[in-house]
Amino acid sequence: MVMSDTPLHDVLSDPARLSAWRERADRLLEAEGAGHLVHDLPVRADGRSTSATSRPWRLDPIPITMGRAVHEWLATSIAERMRALDVVLADLYGDGGLIRSGAVPAEALYGSGSFRSEAIGSSPRRWLTVYAVDLIESDDGVWHIVQDLTDAPVGIGYTLLDRSVMARVAPAEMASAGVTPLHGFADAMRSSLAACSSSDSPRLVVFSGGIEHPSYVEQAYLAVQLGVNLVEGSDLVVRQRRLWIRTLDGLEPVDVVLRRLEDGGVDPLQVASVGSAGVPGLVAASRSGGVALANAFGSGVIEALGRSGHLEDAIAAASPLGAALRTLPEGGVSPRMHPMVGDDGPIEAPVVIRMFAVDDGERVTVLPGGSGRVLAPGDDPANPTAGVAKDVWALGVPVRPMPSRVLPQVDFGASVPTRVADSLHWMNRAAERAETITRVLRAVAASFDEDPGLMHVDAERRPERAAAMLRALIAPNATAAHMDVDGGISDYSTAVDAATSELSRQIGSVLSEAITVREYLSTTAGRLLAHLAHVRSSLASTRLDVDRLDGLLVDFAALAGLWNESTVRGPAWRIGDLGRRLERASLTYRLVSAGLTPGAGEPLIAGSPAAWAAEITLAGCESLVAYRRRHRSDVERRAAVSLVVDDAANPRSVRSSLTSVARHADAINWDDGRKLLAAVGATIDPASLSGLLHALDMSVVSRWFSAPTDPVPMSGVGR
């Protein structure tokens, strides 16, 4: 509860300040990635549908405070309970004493749907490495257990993220209140995970269910805090009863997996498995000692026993400790009410508090605080629906060094999962295409806004040329709604609509790919991506005037700047930058073909539609200012083509892009790329450029993003 003598007392009486706190918390959560998935996103570059939403939550800025005595009692009880649950799991999958004694009825265990027969006889170092428990305090000060979470406990990443946000929302209040920091818990968690392995330098990964998983945002944030790779099922493979991660340079061994997928989803080869996000053979590899799972496969049965009401008897029979906390009675309790921000000032609501612990085999470390989840009227305490979180502050708890195992320093800069490289590559291609479409739309709109008569002079040939340039950028991806009966984009107005639709799609692709590789992007990039998500959501309902297009170009410039100046230039960056450079070269070629190719009997003279189209082309290639500085004449076709195709000093030219591609090819030993680029002469032949770019694209895909197999002829019938 929030005590009247804390620094928060005055804040509660100031609705304007509380509202400002909530708005700032919303913005900060969004900047960390929590808002990127709020909007429907399109099909990804690899063909997978991205229809999930983020299940967004709101952080209420009024925290729950917990005094030292209460927190230390809870921490001791939680540590004892975690150890007791480990004993219960070892018995259930071991000698079965709890079943023989009747403490756990056989029908309750085997009929639970969560008991994993494949785990019988397993002997992991620990069954539970990470543990979470939901608690609710009654209005008479008694704490009750709502549920134990032992399968793939969710919430540590959310808790660390919420605390990070609150530290920026109310830093003075936190300092005055003596809030115990959480900064050491990630180290303790990493050490506990490392202790699952006998290796002196274990490779740790966070195993995610992917962007469609309800807690994906938390998984990505937690991986960043732990400093380990976030992997999906497609990143992993079992060979020789070991788990390996697929990287650009081949398979690399994995020692410990912090799984964020529940028991039923980790291995599709297991009985009663659900979905296809898991890794075939993972459980067998774990049983043979080829990899350690945290938590161990089968741990979810504890949650099932809790729901059936048999868990407390099991704990009492297995361990003298672990029963200090009371289980929530069947009829519930009268919960303590906590203040939260309402639309018109503070209101009150009951809150379930989730606390967390990790075990390294020697000591259980309990996170000093936790995450509160507001209950809506009629909510089951085990399943809040309000979508509102609260930070839990432990006050006055001494900051003791959390145990941490010092792991040998390893540079994983060159170890890039193939999926990550794939996402970075297509993210940059989508960003480049979106920027070019925006640039052409902006140039055309500015020209027509400044002189509306241009729309109708010369038999409307300027709108026709504008439509041709937009078609060159979007026609392969245009939707049926924007096509005429002959399969083309019929006129300028329709072309603008189609370009706007394609712009929305490409921004969506940027967001879809970026959210899956959030750990490779800078913190500042999060805010920019959040803003792009808002811009994209408004494209269908708001006119894209010159000012809005200018603002969008600033966003794309900022994204490119962050990519070039704030991303470590290892293999991941190079594969991503290959995408940007190849896409730029391709789009430049398309624009030159559409805007600088002479029409039948159409001279390039000042004021003509052809000259106007040439200027639009240069503007679309971000080279109009460069041309005017270099040449005193009006746009001349040969000079314009030379500037955007052959001029190595122009960073937007095809030559400059191919030079960057060549540097990447040397750095990452891309032999096919070297060979293809070696054929480029002193002057680039536009007629052969399309074939060269296509060959480079295909080489990138075959070199890094495909898994070729050697066909084996079948013998037998018919031979």
* Domain 214-291, CATH class in plain words: alpha beta
What three-state secondary structure class fits 264?
helix
Asked whether the beta carbons of 654 and 644 are under 8 A apart, the reply is yes
Q: What is the pLDDT of residue 84?
A: 95
Strands (E), 360-394: 364-366, 369-374, 388-394
Question: Which whole number is the average pLDDT over 93-106?
Answer: 94
Which residues belong to CATH 3.40.50.11290 in the chain?
214-291
Instruction: Give me the half-sphere count of Cα atoms (radius 13 Å) on the Cβ side of residue 419.
Output: 21
Asked whether the beta carbons of 415 and 252 are under 8 A apart, the reply is yes
Q: What is the pLDDT of residues 51-74, one digit of tens each?
A: 434 445 789 999 999 999 999 999
Higher pLDDT pick, 146 / 183: 146
Residue 621's closest CA among 596, 593, 587? 587
Q: What is the pLDDT of residues 566-619, one digit of tens each?
A: 888 888 899 999 999 999 999 999 999 888 876 544 556 666 788 888 999 999
Question: Which whole number is the average pLDDT over 285-307?
Answer: 95
Cα–Cα distance, 683 to 646 (Å, whole number): 6
Residue 372's closest CA among 149, 171, 137, 148? 137
Cα–Cα distance, 104 to 310 (Å, whole number): 6
Instruction: Report whether pLDDT(479) > 50.
Output: no
Asked whether the beta carbons of 519 and 224 are under 8 A apart, the reply is yes
Q: What is the pLDDT of residue 453?
A: 66
Please state, for a pLDDT cut of 90, what percent of the chain lies above it: 55
DSSP state of 250: E
Cα–Cα distance, 55 to 489 (Å, whole number): 38
Q: What is the pLDDT of residue 5?
A: 46
Cα–Cα distance, 613 to 466 (Å, whole number): 7
State phi, psi for 680 to the nearest 5 degrees. -75, 125
Question: Which whole number is the average pLDDT over 698-712?
Answer: 70
Cα–Cα distance, 265 to 276 (Å, whole number): 7
Q: What is the pLDDT of residues 413-453, one digit of tens each?
A: 567 888 889 999 999 999 999 999 999 999 999 988 877 66
Instruction: Report whether pLDDT(562) > 70.
Output: yes
Q: What is the pLDDT of residue 413?
A: 57
Q: What single string gives the DSSP state of each residue in 394-434?
A: EBS---PPPP---PPP---TT--BHHHHHHHHHHHHHHHHH
Please give the helix or strand (H or E) that residue 627 lies within, else none. helix 624-630
Cα–Cα distance, 223 to 419 (Å, whole number): 16
Asked whether the beta carbons of 396 and 178 are under 8 A apart, the reply is yes
Q: What is the pLDDT of residue 529?
A: 87
Q: What is the pLDDT of residues 200-253, one digit of tens each?
A: 889 999 999 888 788 888 888 899 899 888 999 989 999 999 999 998 888 999
Q: What is the pLDDT of residues 454-474, one digit of tens each?
A: 666 665 678 888 888 999 898
Identify whether 295 is preceded by a cis peptide bond (ω within 30 of 0).
yes
Q: What is the pLDDT of residues 672-694, one digit of tens each?
A: 999 999 988 878 887 788 899 99
Q: What is the pLDDT of residue 9?
A: 64
Cα–Cα distance, 685 to 642 (Å, whole number): 11
Q: What is the pLDDT of residues 491-535, one digit of tens each?
A: 888 889 999 999 999 999 998 888 888 778 887 888 888 888 888
The structure tokens listed for 546 are 């010159």
Please give the helix or strand (H or E) that residue 700 lies within, else none. helix 686-700
Partners of 182 in the beta sheet? none
The structure tokens listed for 641 are 């083509």
Higher pLDDT pick, 385 / 129: 129
Buried b (16+ CB within 10 A) or exposed e, 643-677: bbbbbeebebbbbbbbbbbbebbeebebeebeebb
Q: What is the pLDDT of residue 568?
A: 82
Question: Which whole number is the average pLDDT over 154-180?
Answer: 92
Q: What is the pLDDT of residue 1?
A: 45
